[in-house]
Homo-oligomer: A and B are copies of this chain.
Amino acid sequence: MKTYTASITVTLRRAILDVQGKAVEHALHSLHMPALGNVRIGKHIELDVQAPDKETAHGLVMDACSKLLSNPVMEDFSVHIMEKASGVPA
């Protein structure tokens, strides 16, 4: 068994209005940063996976994403799996 680190990004689909993003965009403009716009806010999830190989780890994380971590109606997700460097504290 190896330990892998999964980095997951969950984003609202483009067709869905991102009200949190709109609020942040408005706040940026109020802070005199008109060059920034089109703000979209999503979630970034990091977790450790115990698995015999990278493919199994990827499968476990995809399963967790579709069952719990994202709402498949409104959100998309992307998964990136890295082998955890040994000896590095979590």
Contact = CB atoms under 8 A, between A and B. Distances in A.
Interface residues of A, number: 36
Residue among A36, A43, A64 having the largest count of chain B Cβ atoms under 10 Å: A36
Nearest to A48: B38
Interface string A28-43: 1001010111111111
B45 A41 contact: yes
How many copies the complex holds: the figure is: 2
Given A10-B44, A43-B43, A68 B27 contact: yes
Interface in A1-58: 6, 9-11, 14, 24-25, 27-28, 31, 33, 35-51
Interface of A: 6, 9-11, 14, 24-25, 27-28, 31, 33, 35-51, 60-61, 63-64, 67-69, 90
